[in-house]
Amino acid sequence: MRIAFDITPLAVPQSGVGTYTANLLAHLYRQTEDQILPLIHRPLALAASEIEFPAPSVRSPWGRLNKTLWMQMLLPWQLSRLRPDVAHFTNSVAPLYAPCPTVITIHDMTLWLFPEHHYRRRLLAMRPFIPIAARRAGAIIAVSHSAKADIVRILGVPAEKVHVVYEAPPPAFRLLAPGPLLESVRREYHLPERFLLYVGTLEPRKNLVRLLEAFAYLRRAVRLPHTLLVVGRRGWKEDAIFEAVERLALGDAVRFLDYVPTTALVALYNLAEALAFPSLYEGFGLPVVEAMACGTPVVTSERGSLGEIAGGAAQFVEPTNVESIAAGLHTVLNDEFRRAELRVLGLAHVAALTWVATARQTRQVYEGALER
């Protein structure tokens, strides 16, 4: 099978959709004898070089061409020359015309559910195209049952057209034994002995302002000794997060890191006492399973897919209630037995999630799209 594969999310460093795209492509490449034809409109981000996959077969001849213009005007012609059996578009949008069957991964429906959390240009670039692409696709992949329900309800596509294929923690995310690697990362990033970790984009949907308020409350009420380490690139309306740090007088108790290489991120998970991820909505929630794979206890919400993805292996909180977030954090950070229980539950829970299975199930979706 000749598979044209959209790797445009890899033009942005360290994003959840980029992690999905890179790991799926790498495992399709390793596990099958299919010819994989990567498609991109601009140079790859540096982080993409950490995962092995074939060089792009199609890119814009004019360098950094706008993605929408490339996908809608140039890519159909390029696909006609490539003659793939199927084309997989990994981030919700696809050409309005494609000369072959298409499969589209729609990760979430935040453009409809939380439009206020997106740049206007992103809304204009994506919302008009997603419903048309979904109707014309041979198959749609959702990364959770929760996301599938939203896709069916909002886009009005038949439920049988939408296939749930879970993501997984990348293979590098694993439990590490204490030793030189962990200590070198602790020194490199000047980490305190005890810290709480957040991983994800800095944007309103991730609920960081309430997390900061809960953290500040615990520092006042119970003299919580931990530092909060926030790892992620800046997103939409992130100024409110930094304003909250000042308003709450948190100072050096909160530290921000932007891009972190995978090896360092794995070490950060292993060193952290817990992951705090009280998001208001996720289509999947990759940091949850990354943390569990590293043996890190997780404090999260049950909104969107998170209850489904975390199973019974996390400490759940109500994300719109600061007291609930604070109580969940306090339980995990101050109860060694609860932390140990969550470590065991988390490791067992994610053992069933592998990119080998994700790639196999995705290829089955390709076969189904060819039969439509």
CB 305 within 8 A of CB 142: no
Query: pLDDT at residue 48 above 50?
Result: no
Closest CA to 224 of 357, 325, 351: 325
Calculated CA dihedral for residues 118, 246, 270, 307, nearest 10 degrees? -50
CB 250 within 8 A of CB 256: no
Q: How much is the average pLDDT of 272-299?
A: 98
- Per-residue pLDDT of 214-244, as tens digits, reads 999 999 999 999 999 999 988 777 889 999 9
- Per-residue pLDDT of 76-111, as tens digits, reads 999 999 999 999 999 999 999 999 999 999 999 999
- Note the pLDDT of residue 227: 98
pLDDT over 70 percentage in the chain: 93
CB 12 within 8 A of CB 45: yes
Instruction: Tell me the domains of the chain and their CATH numbers.
Output: 2-168+354-371 (3.40.50.2000), 180-350 (3.40.50.2000)
Query: pLDDT at residue 25 above 70?
Result: yes
| Residue 231, token pair as written in the block | 């790892």
Q: How much is the average pLDDT of 332-349?
A: 97
DSSP string, 303-317: STTHHHHHTTSSEEE
| Residue 103, token pair as written in the block | 């499969």
DSSP string, 151-207: HHHHH---GGGEEE------TT-----SSHHHHHHHHHTT--SSEEEEES-BSGGGT
Measured distance CA(160)–CA(260) in Å, rounded: 39
Query: pLDDT at residue 361 above 60?
Result: yes
Query: pLDDT at residue 114 above 50?
Result: yes
Largest Cα–Cα distance of the chain, in whole Å?
Answer: 65
Sign of CA dihedral 353, 90, 262, 240: negative
The label of the residue with tokens 């950070």 reads 333
